[in-house]
């Protein structure tokens, strides 16, 4: 209820009579609905959950306080259904999420609603509320992180020269689900040997060789919430250059985490971690931002790059994930999911960052 009340306050502040939500994660946050392809209208006068026959029963169970309105044959079409809801709730100025409503969908709404309802583009009204996690959300992320940690530790036992990156991906997915996750948190990245220079490598048929570095970026989904963790480790042995570069990234990651304190600007941790990598001469090999928020989505606010203007707050859950990527050689990335507390950062993904050699 508190979330809905806070949203109502934001709507009023934006001088709107109501808001139409179409983004699944925002709908879930506000209504509790775990499905997809549905629409929510929130206003002072009422709250409607608009969906078709696939989801009406589920919505009635999951969304107390919402009037469930069915559309699609034999019921009226979507535009007409939403229009009627707005008329009943006295909505003349209706906000919509401009970053997710396609132009085609906007045209259909505009033409279907006519002159009586003004469509007003909005940005981040619900995301702004999701930015600071409450204790129930933090517990879900914590649980997701625990499951993923445990799965990774078990996965290591089965990695040996000769198996492929895809074998690793499949085994990790199996372990994450077996240990109680709803699903994996996002498509797993497995990058071995020279492929390690690809920050977002899709697992391939490449076979693991002795002396490889392997980077695995993985997470679990638990009750709608995600964890995100990356480790780079060696198979059989690690040479001097591998250890040297690993330790630079490890140091940068540590500095990034230590910088993650309430009331600092989100660009600060990026700057501090990046300076370690730059001073070591690898600035050009670290092309992405330091990290991002994690929650109902795998990538959400705050996006911690050099351009971030968000202020870090207790209750933010973010990743810290510097990397060094060298074409032809490979790469290293180390990532944790970190909770910001009043007392400083708390690391939720707890796998060791001492170089693992299996």
User: Least distance from C-beta 317 to Mn ion, angstroms?
Assistant: 12
Dihedral Cα 293, 297, 301, 304, nearest 10 deg: 40
CB 113 within 8 A of CB 105: no
| DSSP-derived pairing of the beta strands 93-97 and 118-122 | parallel
Pick 149 or 228: Cβ nearer Mn ion: 228
Residue 260, both tokens: 């993650």
Nearer to Mn ion, 17 or 300 (CB): 300
- Give the separation between CA 78 and CA 45, rounded to whole angstroms: 20
CB of 228 to Mn ion, least distance (A): 4
CB of 319 to Mn ion, least distance (A): 4
Alpha-carbon distance of 213 to 217, in angstroms, equals 13
Which residues of this protein are in contact with Mn ion, per CB under 5 A?
228, 319
Mind giving me the DSSP string for 240-258? HHHHHHHHHHHHHHHHHHH
The smaller minimum CB distance to Mn ion, of residues 21 and 229, is found at 229
Q: Which residues contact 41 (CB under 8 A, 6 or more apart)?
A: 18, 19, 20, 21, 47, 48, 50, 82, 85, 86, 89, 91, 94
Nearer to Mn ion, 26 or 337 (CB): 337
Nearest distance from residue 292's CB to Mn ion, in Å? 6
Q: How does DSSP classify residue 47?
A: E
Residue 242, classed as helix, strand or coil, is: helix
Two tokens at 301? 């606010």
Please report how close the Cβ of residue 5 comes to Mn ion at its closest, in angstroms. Answer: 32
Q: 69 or 141, CB closer to Mn ion?
A: 141
Q: Considering beta carbons, is residue 97 or 169 the nearer one to Mn ion?
A: 169
CB of 31 to Mn ion, least distance (A): 27
Strands 220-222 and 229-234: unpaired
- Residue 353 Cβ vs Mn ion, minimum distance, rounded to whole Å: 15
165/228 with CB nearer Mn ion: 228
């Amino acid at each position: 209820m508190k979330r809905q009340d806070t949203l109502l306050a934001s709507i009023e502040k934006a001088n709107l009579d109501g808001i139409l939500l179409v983004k699944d994660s925002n709908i879930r946050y506000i209504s509790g609905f775990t499905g997809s392809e549905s629409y929510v209208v929130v206003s002072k006068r009422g709250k409607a959950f608009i969906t078709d026959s696939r989801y009406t029963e589920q919505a009635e169970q999951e969304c107390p306080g919402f009037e469930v309105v069915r559309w699609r044959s034999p019921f009226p079409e979507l535009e007409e259904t939403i229009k009627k809801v707005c008329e009943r709730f006295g909505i003349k100025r209706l906000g919509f999420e401009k970053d997710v409503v396609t132009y085609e969908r906007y045209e259909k709404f505009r033409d279907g609603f006519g002159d009586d309802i003004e469509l007003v583009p909005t940005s981040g009204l619900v995301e702004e509320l999701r930015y600071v996690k409450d204790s129930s959300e933090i517990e879900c992320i914590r649980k997701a992180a625990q499951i993923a940690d445990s799965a990774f530790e078990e996965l290591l036992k089965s990695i040996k020269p000769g198996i492929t990156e895809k074998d690793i991906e499949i085994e990790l997915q199996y372990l994450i689900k077996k240990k109680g996750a709803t699903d994996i948190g996002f498509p797993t990245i497995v990058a071995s040997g020279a492929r390690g220079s690809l920050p977002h490598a899709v697992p391939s048929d490449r076979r693991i060789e002795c002396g490889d570095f392997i980077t695995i970026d993985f997470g679990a989904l638990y009750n709608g919430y995600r964890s995100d963790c990356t480790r780079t480790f060696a198979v059989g042995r690690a040479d001097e250059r591998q250890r040297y570069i690993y330790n630079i990234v490890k140091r940068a990651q540590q500095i990034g985490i230590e910088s993650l304190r309430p009331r600092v600007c989100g660009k600060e941790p990026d700057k501090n971690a990046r300076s370690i990598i730059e001073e070591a001469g690898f600035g050009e090999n670290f092309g992405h931002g330091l990290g991002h928020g994690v929650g109902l989505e795998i990538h959400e606010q705050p996006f911690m790059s050099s351009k971030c203007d968000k202020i870090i707050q207790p209750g933010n859950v973010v990743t810290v994930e510097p990397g060094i990527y060298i074409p032809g050689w490979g790469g290293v990335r180390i990532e944790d999911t970190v909770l910001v507390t009043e007392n400083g950062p708390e690391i939720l993904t707890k796998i060791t960052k001492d170089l693992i050699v299996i």
